């Protein structure tokens, strides 16, 4: 059987390769501690689980849902944006429900990209931005995220001929994998750049609520003119420990939201309504669970940074996300070092090159490992690599 060229050209998905390496080590009897995938280990809060259980018993939720989502869920999203960011959204026209934000991130390229178009992709960045564009037949133009610029792209460095052929600009702050944050002034700069070249800004924002030390992350939609040029993707996965539930949304420009909803209506049948009601419970219910999650992640963040510093690394405390982005020691590449750590310590790190060429020279540590296991990982690292 001949696989379609668009699929044959896909690279192995980063986390699939990590899972394979873990399995290989475990088959050899190694007690592997994974600091790789950003999948929360904390349970979904009980009141959200209870809402799902209650709604799953209602036969009205057993039929096909709307492909764009329950109006009640979209209203809860709009209410959350108003309360959290001071942004007013029309739930009917400016919010579309997604089967996890990854689904919408992958599909938006099919809405606006044709062969020969460019997508402007952060490098390093979440691999799905570029994969979606490539599947749509477009070309990816990397926007280097450099430490000296705070891991923010330099729009002035994009050649005018590339910008004129570009249709989508991807942004992601707080940022995966670097943990960097962006200001409203930066988002205003992005709006201006998008207007100049008729771009659609797609801001991926699943980590706005995972912040530390009093830092409060802004929404792209707070910037003046943001809804004229783009949308924001968000998810319940990280804030409420709901990665397996597959529930998110896109919000912002009504035309873009409508177009994405139209594509979805031809490809999927929406999110199970009981899950959407659980999402309403998450967004509108008590938020003490989020504060508890942040306390756990802050403790782990501090443990990781202190552990890396004790091993001789100069690592700053990230203000947000569930990741710590760490320079690879000389003379290793990120892949070489990740494989060395796995072999010597049985600890999985994510090599930076998996997020793009500019990720080379770094590795990522995820904070989604139980605290005791995280402490054991650093005990092993100190034993294997201590100076």
d(CA 178, CA 362): 9
Name the domain boundary from 233, 265, 284: 284
Kindly state whether residues 154 and 66 are assigned to the same domain. Answer: yes
Name the domain boundary from 284, 307, 340: 284
Window from 15-29, 93-107, 204-218, 360-374 with minimum mean pLDDT: 15-29
In the chain, the number of structural domains is 2
Q: Name the DSSP class of 198.
A: T
- Tell me what pLDDT residue 15 has: 63
> Is residue 201 over pLDDT 80?
yes
Q: 135 pLDDT band (50/70/90 cuts)?
A: very high
The CA radius of gyration of the chain, in Å to the nearest whole number, is: 21
Please give the backbone phi and psi of residue 72, each rounded to the nearest 5 degrees, phi first. Answer: -65, -40
> Is residue 14 over pLDDT 70?
no
The total of other beta-carbon atoms located within 10 Å of residue 376's CB is 17
Kindly state whether residues 304 and 265 are assigned to the same domain. Answer: no
- Tell me what pLDDT residue 387 has: 61
Kindly state whether residues 64 and 157 are assigned to the same domain. Answer: yes
What average pLDDT does the chain have?
Answer: 95
Residue 34, H or E segment = strand 33-34
Name the domain boundary from 258, 284, 310: 284
Angle between helices 101-112 and 127-135 in degrees, nearest 10: 40
Give the strand pairing for 200-204 and 230-235.
parallel
Residue 228 three-state SS: helix
> Is residue 228 over pLDDT 90?
yes
- Tell me what pLDDT residue 7 has: 86
- DSSP track, 316-384: ---SBSSEEEEEPPTT--HHHHHHHHHHHH-EE-EEGGGG-GGGTTEEEEES-S-HHHHHHHHHHHHHH
> Shortest CA distance to 177 belongs to which of 232, 123, 125?
125
> What average pLDDT does this structure show over 65-79?
97
Q: Which residue has the tokens 């800004």?
A: 201
- Tell me what pLDDT residue 20 has: 77
The CATH number assigned to the domain holding 358 equals 3.90.1150.10
d(CA 358, CA 147): 10
- Tell me what pLDDT residue 333 has: 94
> Is residue 243 over pLDDT 70?
yes
Does residue 196 or residue 384 have the better pLDDT? 196
- Tell me what pLDDT residue 304 has: 97
> Shortest CA distance to 122 belongs to which of 184, 213, 186?
186
Domain boundaries, position 146: 46-284
Q: What is the pLDDT of residues 294-327, one digit of tens each?
A: 999 999 999 999 999 999 898 999 999 999 999 9
Kindly state whether residues 260 and 151 are assigned to the same domain. Answer: yes
The CATH number assigned to the domain holding 268 equals 3.40.640.10
Kindly state whether residues 267 and 309 are assigned to the same domain. Answer: no
Q: What percent of the chain has pLDDT over 70?
A: 98
Kindly state whether residues 203 and 74 are assigned to the same domain. Answer: yes
- Tell me what pLDDT residue 69 has: 97
Residue 312, Cβ density class (10 Å: 0-12 exposed, 13-18 middle, ≥19 buried): exposed
Kindly state whether residues 379 and 312 are assigned to the same domain. Answer: yes
- DSSP track, 52-106: HHHHHT-GGGGSPPPTT--HHHHHHHHHHHHHHH-----TTTSEEEESSHHHHHH
Of how many residues is the chain composed?
Answer: 387
């Amino acid at each position: 059987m001949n696989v379609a060229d668009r699929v044959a050209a896909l690279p192995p998905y980063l986390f699939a390769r990590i899972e394979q390496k873990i399995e290989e080590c475990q088959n050899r009897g190694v007690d592997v501690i994974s600091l790789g995938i950003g999948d929360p280990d904390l349970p979904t809060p009980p009141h959200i689980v209870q809402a799902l259980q209650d709604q799953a018993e209602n036969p009205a939720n057993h039929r096909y849902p709307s492909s764009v989502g329950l109006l009640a869920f979209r209203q809860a999203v709009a209410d959350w944006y108003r309360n959290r960011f001071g942004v007013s959204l029309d739930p009917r026209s400016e919010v579309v429900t997604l089967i996890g934000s990854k689904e919408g991130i992958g599909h938006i390229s099919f809405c606006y990209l044709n062969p020969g178009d460019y997508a402007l992709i952060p490098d390093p960045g979440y691999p799905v931005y570029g994969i979606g564009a490539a599947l749509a037949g477009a070309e990816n133009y990397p926007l280097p995220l450099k430490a000296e610029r705070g891991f923010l792209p330099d729009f002035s460095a994009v050649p005018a001929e590339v910008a004129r052929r570009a249709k989508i600009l991807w942004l992601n702050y707080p940022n995966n994998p670097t943990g960097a944050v962006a200001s409203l002034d930066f988002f205003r700069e992005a709006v201006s750049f998008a207007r100049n070249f008729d771009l659609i800004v797609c801001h991926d924002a699943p980590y706005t609520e995972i912040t530390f030390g009093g830092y409060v992350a802004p929404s792209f939609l707070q910037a003046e003119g943001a809804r004229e040029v783009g949308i924001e993707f968000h998810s319940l996965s990280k804030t409420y420990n709901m990665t397996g539930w597959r529930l998110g949304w896109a919000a912002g420009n009504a035309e873009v939201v409508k177009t994405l909803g139209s594509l979805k209506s031809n490809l999927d049948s929406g999110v199970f309504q009981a899950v959407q009601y659980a999402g309403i419970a998450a967004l509108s219910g008590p938020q003490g669970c989020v504060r508890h999650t942040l306390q756990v992640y802050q403790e782990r963040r501090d443990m990781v940074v202190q552990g890396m510093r004790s091993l001789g690394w100069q690592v700053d405390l990230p203000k947000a996300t569930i990741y710590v982005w760490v320079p690879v020691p000389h003379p290793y590449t990120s892949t070489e070092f990740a494989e060395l750590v796995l072999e010597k310590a049985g600890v999985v790190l994510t090599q930076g090159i998996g997020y793009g060429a500019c990720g080379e020279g770094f590795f990522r540590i995820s904070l989604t490992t139980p605290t005791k296991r995280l402490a054991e990982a650093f005990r092993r690292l100190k034993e294997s690599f201590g100076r």
